[in-house]
Amino acid sequence: METNPQPVATTVVRCPQCGRINRIPSARRDDGPKCGQCRSSLAARGQVGVVDDAGLTTLLERSPVAVLVDFYADWCGPCRMLAPVLQQIAAEFEGRLLVVKVDTDRDQGYASQLGVQGIPAVHLFVGGRHVAAESGARPAAFWREFLAPHLS
Ligand SMILES: [Zn+2]
């Protein structure tokens, strides 16, 4: 009797240092994985890297999973409150979602294109397409509900 081999379950993790999208066998997620490009440790879950406008374009083209983008600035208090919440969300939804941040003081291309008025502003892309947005330093429970209809 023949059975088709099951594809190896993998988890998608974006390297916060170099931006490389790594696929890690799920069974080896806790074996101290390193980035295939720059060898940075990917052991910690919920790492949220900063991308510039060009980096975000590349990520939206290449990401095999949904992308959540936090538009923030260093001087913004609510942004600092939101940051650990989104790290928690990134860890919880690992494998289904990548979370990155755009510093709106340095990169304004996407922020102006998307009509970002106040920060923090959080925008969700699925398959490279913009599907939802919310703003404010809201709790993790809010973001779980925000994501639920869009993630498989
Ligand atoms: Zn890397």
**What number of other Cβ atoms are within 10 A of residue 123's Cβ?**
22
Tell me if residue 79 is catalytic: yes
Q: Which of 15, 18, 38, 79 is catalytic?
A: 79
Domains of the chain as residue ranges with CATH = 7-44 (2.30.30.380), 45-150 (3.40.30.10)
Amino acid letter, 55: G
- The alpha carbon of 50 and the centre of ligand 1 are apart by a number of angstroms equal to 13
Sheet containing 49-50: give its strands across: 49-50, 97-103, 66-72, 121-126, 129-135
pLDDT over threshold 60, residue 110: yes
Q: Give the integer Cα–Cα distance in Å for 13 and 23.
A: 6
Q: Tell me how far the alpha carbon of residue 35 lies from the centroid of ligand 1, in angstroms.
A: 5
Q: Quick check: helix, strand or coil at residue 50?
A: strand
Q: Given 15, 18, 38, 76, which residue is catalytic? A: 76
Please give the mean pLDDT across all residues of the chain.
Answer: 95
What's the pLDDT band for 3 if we cut at 50, 70, 90? low
**pLDDT tens-digit map of 30-88:** 999 999 999 999 999 999 999 999 999 999 999 999 999 999 999 999 999 999 999 99
Distance CA 104, CA 106 (A): 5
Query: How crowded is residue 10: how many other Cβ atoms within 10 Å of its Cβ?
Result: 16
Query: What is the pTM assigned to this prediction?
Result: 0.93
In order, the DSSP letters of 92-114 are: HTTTTEEEEEEETTT--HHHHHT
Q: Is 76 a catalytic residue?
A: yes
**For residue 22, how far is its CA from the centre of ligand 1 (angstroms)?**
8
- Nearest of 111, 94, 97 to residue 147 by alpha carbon: 97
